[in-house]
C-alpha cells in the first residue's frame, strides 16, 4: 500500500510544477470554480435522482442539527435514538450503507456501524451552502458505502476579491429551551480569500407532544425517565467551528485550506435509559462522551487545457474522531469504552473535455487507524491491539451528449481494501485467533441515459452496481444489544448491490411533476446471525450470559420503491410542493422482511410570497403511514421494543413558517412546528419526537 501513497502524493504535487510557468504578476486573476462548488450533476455524470437543498431552504426550515435538516426535507426518513442524534435512511439503507461526505471528503470511517448512526449532527447546518442527496449507488466516483446513496454537505466557501461581510444569527426553540448563536465572516483580496464561522448550541430537555391521537397512553411515557411531557436527560451542548482559506496563485492555479472542528458535551442515550428489566430501570447511566471531530483538508486545483486534463483537483485530508460509550447498571461500576480514529485520505480527480464530451477519472486512497480502550476490567469494543483499514480506488466515468438535451454516461471503478486487527486479551472470550487480516477487491460499474423529449418531457434510465467493504466495526466488534452479544468474524467479504432506476418528468412552464421507480438486488449482504466460537454459543459479557451473534455474508435480498414529486406555481404569489416515498424490502434467502424499511411517508407545502413586503409564509404537512408489528424485521435492528405492541402508529404534523425582512440587513423568522402538539415517534426511534415548538430567529448581515 505504501507505493500507492507515494503515487498519490506525486499527483498532488502536479500543480506545483505549473506554478512558475503560469504566474502572471500584473494580470487580473479570473474566478476559479472549485470542484466542491460545482453541482452534483456535474460530479456524478449519472442521470439519477438528486435532491438539492440550497442555503435559502436550509435557513427557512430553521433546523437545530443537520439531521433535523434532513428530516424536514421530506426526502429521507431519520431515526432518532436520543436528542443529540439522527440516522438518515435512504431507500431502505441506513448507517454505514449511506455515505456521508463534506466538501468532497468522506466522513464514513472504519467504525461506522450498521445499526443506527448519529454522526451526522457533527456538521452545523448554518455553515452549509447546500446539501445534495444522491439516491442509490449512481456514481463510481464515491466508492464504498453508497449502497443507499450519498449525502453530500457543502459548507460555505472562501472567495477572493470579497468585501468584508459578516452574518449573525440568534435562534430560540421553545420545545427544549434551545439557544443557538451563530457568527460568520468572509473577506478577501485579489488573490486571497478567508471564511470563518462559529456556532454554539445549548439544548435543554426535549418535550414530547401531548396530543395522543394514536390512543396509546403509556407509549414513550416511562415514569423513571419522563416527567409529564419532558423527556429527562436529553439536554446537551454543541460547538462547531470552521476556517477556510483560499489562495489564487495565478490565472490557472488555486489552493485551499479547510479546517473544521466540532465537539459536544455528554449525550445521554435515551433509548437505553428508558429500558426496563424485571420491573426495574436497566441502566442508571448510559451516555456518549463528548463527540469530537477534527478535519483538515488541503486542496489544489489547476485549470488549463493539457494533454491529460483540462481541470485537475487534488485534496489531501486528515480527520481525527474521538467518541466513547459509558454505561452503568444498578449496583454495578461504570463501564467506559473509548475509541480514537485517525483517517488520512488523498483524492486526485481529472476532467478532460472534447467539445460537449466529458471524461472524468481519478483515484483516491484512505487509511483508517483505530485505537480502542476500556476501563479496567471491561472489554474493548474493538480489537484491543489496534486496527487498520486501507483502501485504494481507481475510477473513470464518461458522458457523451447526443441531440440538444440528451446524453449517455458510463463508468467503472476498481477498489481494493486491506484490514488488519490485533487482539491481545483473547482469553477473555477464548477467541480462536490473535489477529484478523482481510484483503478484498471489488469492480463496480454504472451506465445511464437521459433523454430530453418534446413538450417538456424528460426521461432517465440508469443501472449501477454498488459495494461496501467490511470495516473494523463489521469485523472486530464485541458489543451487546437487545440481549445478544456480537463477536468478531474473520471471514467477511464485501456486499454488493445491483440498482435499476427509471425516472420520468414533465414540465409546465415553471411547474413540474416527476416520478422515480427503483429496484435493488442485494447480494452477499452483511447481517447478524447466530454464531459459535470454539463450539460455544454463549458467553459472559458485562455480568450476563448472552447468546452469540456475528456478521456473516448470507443474505440475498431485493428492495423496490418509488418517489413522486410535484411543484405547481399558481401565480407570482402562490405555489405548492408535494413529495412522497415508498420502499419495500425482503430477504430472499430466508423469506423474511428486511430491516431499515420505513413506512410510506411524505411532505406537502403551500407557499405564499409577498412581493410588497418580501415576506414568505408556508404551511407544511409531514406525514407517515403505519409500520405494523408484523412488518418489522425479526433481526431486531428496527427497535420493535421502542414501538407499541401493534407497531409504530401513523402520524401527521401541521407546521407554519414565516420570514420577514425588517430592512435590507435584518430578517426575522417564526417557525411553529407540530402546531397540534401531536405525540409520535419516527420509525425505529427510541425517543419521542418534539411536541409543539415555537422557533424565533433573528439574522443580520453587514
Going by DSSP bridges, is the β-strand pair 484-486/544-569 parallel, antiparallel, or unpaired?
parallel
Distances (CA, A) of 343 to 8, 9, 109, 388: 16, 16, 7, 10
- The answer to the question of residue 36 being in a domain is no
Structural domain range at position 76: 2-22+41-184+202-229+237-701
What pLDDT does residue 8 have? 42
Q: What are phi and psi of 120, to 5 degrees?
A: -65, -15
Going by DSSP bridges, is the β-strand pair 98-102/149-155 parallel, antiparallel, or unpaired?
parallel
Domain total in the chain: 1
* Residue reference for cell 486534463: 309
- The answer to the question of residue 410 being in a domain is yes
- The answer to the question of residue 27 being in a domain is no
* Residue reference for cell 469485523: 475
What are the beta bridge partners of residue 609? 616
Contact 522, 543 (CB under 8 A): no
What is the mean pLDDT of each successive set of 10 residues along the chain, which is 702 residues long? 45 43 39 62 84 95 96 94 92 94 95 86 95 91 92 95 94 98 96 97 98 96 96 97 96 96 97 90 95 96 94 97 95 94 97 94 96 91 94 96 91 96 79 87 94 93 94 87 80 92 95 97 86 78 79 88 97 96 91 92 97 95 97 84 96 98 96 98 96 98 94
Q: How far apart are CA 470 and CA 441, in angstroms?
A: 11
- The answer to the question of residue 125 being in a domain is yes
Q: How far apart are CA 290 and CA 237, in angstroms?
A: 10
- The answer to the question of residue 426 being in a domain is yes
The dihedral of CA 426, 429, 430, 436: what is its sign? Answer: negative
Contact 222, 274 (CB under 8 A): yes
- The answer to the question of residue 591 being in a domain is yes
Q: How far apart are CA 426 and CA 433, in angstroms?
A: 8
Q: How far apart are CA 465 and CA 429, in angstroms?
A: 38
What pLDDT does residue 114 have? 84
What pLDDT does residue 116 have? 85
Of residues 42, 6, 15, the one with CA closest to residue 256 = 15
What pLDDT does residue 2 have? 47
What are the beta bridge partners of residue 367? 344, 390
**CATH code of residue 250:** 2.40.170.20
What pLDDT does residue 377 have? 83
Q: How far apart are CA 624 and CA 373, in angstroms?
A: 41
- The answer to the question of residue 148 being in a domain is yes
- The answer to the question of residue 192 being in a domain is no
What pLDDT does residue 35 have? 60
What pLDDT does residue 34 have? 59
Amino acid at each position: 500500500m505504501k507505493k500507492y501513497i507515494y503515487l498519490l502524493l506525486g499527483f498532488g504535487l502536479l500543480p506545483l510544477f505549473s506554478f512558475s510557468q503560469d504566474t502572471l504578476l500584473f494580470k487580473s486573476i479570473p474566478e476559479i470554480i472549485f470542484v466542491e462548488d460545482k453541482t452534483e450533476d456535474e460530479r456524478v455524470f449519472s442521470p439519477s435522482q438528486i435532491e438539492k437543498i440550497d442555503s435559502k431552504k436550509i435557513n427557512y426550515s430553521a433546523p437545530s442539527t443537520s439531521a433535523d435538516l434532513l428530516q424536514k426535507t421530506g426526502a429521507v426518513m431519520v431515526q432518532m435514538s436520543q436528542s443529540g442524534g439522527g440516522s438518515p435512511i435512504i431507500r431502505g439503507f441506513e448507517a454505514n450503507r449511506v455515505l456521508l461526505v463534506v466538501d468532497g471528503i468522506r466522513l464514513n470511517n472504519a467504525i461506522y456501524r450498521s445499526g443506527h448512526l448519529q454522526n451526522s449532527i457533527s456538521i452545523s447546518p448554518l455553515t452549509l451552502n447546500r446539501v445534495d442527496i444522491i439516491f442509490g449507488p449512481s456514481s463510481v466516483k464515491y466508492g464504498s458505502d453508497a449502497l443507499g446513496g450519498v449525502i453530500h454537505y457543502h459548507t460555505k466557501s472562501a472567495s477572493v476579491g470579497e468585501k468584508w461581510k459578516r452574518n449573525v444569527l440568534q435562534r430560540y426553540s421553545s420545545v427544549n429551551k434551545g439557544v443557538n448563536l451563530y457568527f460568520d465572516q468572509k473577506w478577501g483580496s485579489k488573490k486571497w480569500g478567508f471564511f470563518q464561522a462559529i456556532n454554539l448550541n445549548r439544548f435543554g430537555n426535549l418535550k414530547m407532544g401531548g396530543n395522543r391521537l394514536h390512543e396509546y397512553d403509556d407509549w414513550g411515557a416511562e415514569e423513571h425517565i419522563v416527567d409529564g411531557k419532558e423527556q429527562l436527560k436529553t439536554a446537551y451542548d454543541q460547538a462547531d467551528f470552521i476556517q477556510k482559506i483560499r489562495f489564487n496563485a495565478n490565472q490557472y492555479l488555486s489552493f485551499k485550506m479547510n479546517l473544521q472542528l466540532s465537539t459536544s458535551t455528554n449525550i445521554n442515550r435515551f433509548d437505553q435509559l428508558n429500558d426496563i428489566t424485571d420491573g426495574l430501570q436497566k441502566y442508571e447511566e448510559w451516555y456518549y462522551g463528548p463527540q469530537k471531530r477534527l478535519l483538515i483538508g488541503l486542496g489544489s486545483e489547476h485549470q488549463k487545457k493539457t494533454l491529460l486534463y483540462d481541470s485537475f483537483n487534488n485534496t489531501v485530508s486528515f480527520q481525527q474522531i474521538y467518541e466513547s460509550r459509558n454505561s452503568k447498571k444498578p449496583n454495578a461500576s461504570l463501564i467506559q469504552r473509548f475509541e480514537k480514529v485517525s483517517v488520512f485520505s488523498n483524492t486526485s480527480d481529472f476532467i478532460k473535455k472534447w467539445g460537449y464530451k466529458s471524461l472524468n477519472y481519478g483515484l483516491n486512497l484512505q487509511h483508517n487507524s483505530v485505537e480502542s480502550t476500556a476501563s479496567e476490567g471491561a472489554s474493548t469494543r474493538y480489537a484491543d491491539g489496534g486496527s487498520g483499514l486501507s483502501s485504494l480506488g481507481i475510477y473513470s466515468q464518461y458522458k457523451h451528449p447526443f441531440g440538444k438535451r440528451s446524453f449517455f454516461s458510463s463508468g467503472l471503478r476498481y477498489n481494493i481494501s486491506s484490514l488488519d486487527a490485533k487482539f491481545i486479551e483473547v482469553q477473555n472470550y477464548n477467541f480462536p485467533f490473535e489477529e484478523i487480516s482481510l484483503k478484498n477487491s471489488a469492480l463496480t460499474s454504472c451506465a445511464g441515459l437521459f433523454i430530453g423529449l418534446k413538450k417538456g418531457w424528460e426521461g432517465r434510465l440508469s443501472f449501477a452496481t454498488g459495494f461496501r467493504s467490511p470495516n473494523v466495526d463489521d469485523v472486530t466488534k464485541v458489543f451487546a444489544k437487545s440481549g445478544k452479544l456480537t463477536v468478531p468474524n474473520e471471514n467477511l467479504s464485501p456486499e454488493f448491490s445491483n440498482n435499476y432506476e427509471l425516472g420520468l418528468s414533465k414540465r409546465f412552464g415553471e411547474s413540474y411533476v416527476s416520478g422515480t421507480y427503483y429496484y435493488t438486488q442485494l447480494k452477499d449482504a452483511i447481517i447478524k446471525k447466530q454464531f459459535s466460537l470454539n463450539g460455544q454459543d454463549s458467553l459472559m459479557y458485562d455480568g450476563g450470559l448472552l447468546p452469540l451473534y456475528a456478521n456473516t455474508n448470507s443474505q440475498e435480498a431485493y428492495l423496490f420503491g418509488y418517489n413522486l414529486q410535484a411543484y405547481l406555481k399558481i401565480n407570482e404569489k402562490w405555489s405548492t410542493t408535494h413529495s412522497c416515498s415508498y420502499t419495500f424490502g425482503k430477504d430472499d434467502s430466508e423469506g423474511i422482511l428486511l430491516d431499515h424499511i420505513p413506512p410510506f411517508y411524505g411532505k406537502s407545502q403551500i407557499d405564499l410570497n409577498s412581493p410588497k413586503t418580501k415576506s414568505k409564509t408556508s404551511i407544511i404537512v409531514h406525514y407517515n403511514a403505519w409500520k405494523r408489528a408484523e412488518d418489522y424485521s425479526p433481526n431486531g435492528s428496527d427497535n420493535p421494543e421502542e414501538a407499541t405492541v401493534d407497531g409504530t402508529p401513523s402520524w401527521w404534523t401541521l407546521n407554519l413558517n414565516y420570514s420577514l425582512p425588517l430592512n435590507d440587513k435584518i430578517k426575522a423568522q417564526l417557525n411553529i412546528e407540530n402546531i397540534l402538539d401531536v405525540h409520535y415517534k419516527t420509525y425505529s426511534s427510541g425517543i419521542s419526537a418534539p411536541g409543539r415548538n415555537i422557533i424565533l430567529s433573528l439574522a443580520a448581515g453587514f
